[in-house]
Amino acid sequence: MPESLFVTGGTGMIGRDMIARILRESDAEVCVLIHRRCRGASSADLARALLGAPAAREQDRRLRLVAGDVTAPDLGLSADEYRRTCATASGILHAAATTRFDLPLEEARRVNVAGTANVLALAKGCGRLERFGFVSTAYVAGRRTGTILESEREHGEGFVNSYEQSKYEAEALIEDSLNGVPAAVYRLSTVLGDSRTGRVAHPTAPHHALRMMHLGLASMLPGAPENTVDLIPGDGAACALYRLFTDHFQAGQVLHLTAPEAGSYTLAEIVEQSYRFLAEADPAWGARRYPAPVITSPDTFELFVRSAEQANNPLMRGAMKTLRHFAHQLAYPKRFDRSRLLACLPRYDEDMPDVRSYYAKVVASCVGSGWRRHA
């Protein structure tokens, strides 16, 4: 009997690549929970979007969409659909999340914590369930600095934004469910875009920061010039995640899918390269000669943000708000230990594209699309 997978977040940065891989590389049947507001979409539409047109008929046939909402009881599914999923799902990949960094904590919790609780409730009702994959973030480490082990979660250092905290709390729910749910946690680094095309399916904080630079509104960033900025490409992340979930799954596993050793820009480098690649992608922009932001202490950055807020300047306040919710993470240098990951995927570092090889494409894609979300 072929495997039957239930996937949330299937239209997000990682979920869409994962579904494409599952359809291409296995004979599994995939049921994707799409948000109610996308109710009109068909599986053929999604298959075409993921696999290119025309999707193979057989792959199309194995893909099924159900409309729902992770924040709703029973995921917003009909009783029949819920029962059917419980009866058939042998694997669940929970990738749905809000990745906005600027949400109030309660709002982030509603999607990322309560949503995870709802998916776990479904998992507990799945009689055939063999694997439950939870897509998390390496930044559940919050304001910690230094080496972060895959085995560690609990800490008291606090968080830079509500996204980090809500994912941290969601991981706690996963831990608490391990007796009844065979779950693994995949902590991804910041996903930048596709390494082959530069395509950004879903612009997130780093892309918004890049946009502030493009608008000439980036004044300063907190951190130290030599701090590294951990970034991974969406396709590389999905490839590793697929292999971990299908070939190396182990309940209780927590893995860091972060940048390879020496595969990261420093903060100073990424600022410099951002301005270089923006100028290449948009020569008229280059002629404006916007200055690159100053890299400064978190205190100074915060004083500047507070002043912009006090001045009630809407544009500057908005720009700084955009930067504020993720930029402070740059001031907490950390190294993500990947011993367990490398034990599963010894070639991970060779297979994961170095940011230096694709950052220009991502910048060009952002400029080309006007930072719009790709369908």
Residue 223 is a binding residue for other proteins (CB under 8 A): no
- Candidates 265, 233, 277; CA nearest to 330 is 265
Q: How far is the CB of 373 from other proteins (least distance, A)?
A: 25
Given the rule CB under 8 A, which of 11-19, 41-49, 69-77, 217-225 is the region that contacts other proteins? Answer: 217-225
- Candidates 232, 334, 335; CA nearest to 14 is 232
# chain residues binding other proteins, by CB under 8 A: 36
Please select the residue that binds other proteins; options are 40, 53, 156, 289, rule is CB under 8 A. Answer: 289
- Candidates 352, 151, 318, 336; CA nearest to 229 is 336
Q: How far is the CB of 362 from other proteins (least distance, A)?
A: 17
Distance CA 114, CA 117 (A): 5
Q: How far is CA 74 from CA 111, 116, 216, in A?
A: 14, 11, 46
Given the rule CB under 8 A, which of 137-145, 186-194, 209-217, 256-264 is the region that contacts other proteins? Answer: 209-217
Residue number, 66 or 213, with CB nearest to other proteins: 213
Binding mask 224-263 for other proteins (x = CB under 8 A): ----------------------------------------
Given the rule CB under 8 A, which of 98-106, 143-151, 167-175, 283-291 is the region that contacts other proteins? Answer: 283-291
Residue number, 10 or 293, with CB nearest to other proteins: 293
61 by Cβ neighbours in 10 Å (0-12 / 13-18 / 19+) ranks as: middle
Residue 220 is a binding residue for other proteins (CB under 8 A): yes
Please select the residue that binds other proteins; options are 56, 72, 178, 215, rule is CB under 8 A. Answer: 215
Given the rule CB under 8 A, which of 123-131, 141-149, 212-220, 358-366 is the region that contacts other proteins? Answer: 212-220
Distance CA 332, CA 145 (A): 5
Q: What are the tokens at 248? A: 């190396």
Residue 273 is a binding residue for other proteins (CB under 8 A): yes
Q: How far is the CB of 130 from other proteins (least distance, A)?
A: 47
Residue 275 is a binding residue for other proteins (CB under 8 A): yes
Distance CA 149, CA 20 (A): 31
- Candidates 90, 5, 10; CA nearest to 45 is 10
226 by Cβ neighbours in 10 Å (0-12 / 13-18 / 19+) ranks as: exposed
The answer, yes or no, to whether the previous bond of 54 is cis (omega within 30 of 0) is yes
Residue number, 138 or 320, with CB nearest to other proteins: 320
Residue 288 is a binding residue for other proteins (CB under 8 A): yes
Residue 310 is a binding residue for other proteins (CB under 8 A): yes
Residue 327 near residue 222 (C-beta atoms within 8 A): yes
User: Which residue ranges make up the site for other proteins (CB under 8 A)?
Assistant: 215-220, 268-269, 272-273, 275-276, 279, 286-294, 296-297, 299-300, 303-304, 307, 310-313, 315-316, 319
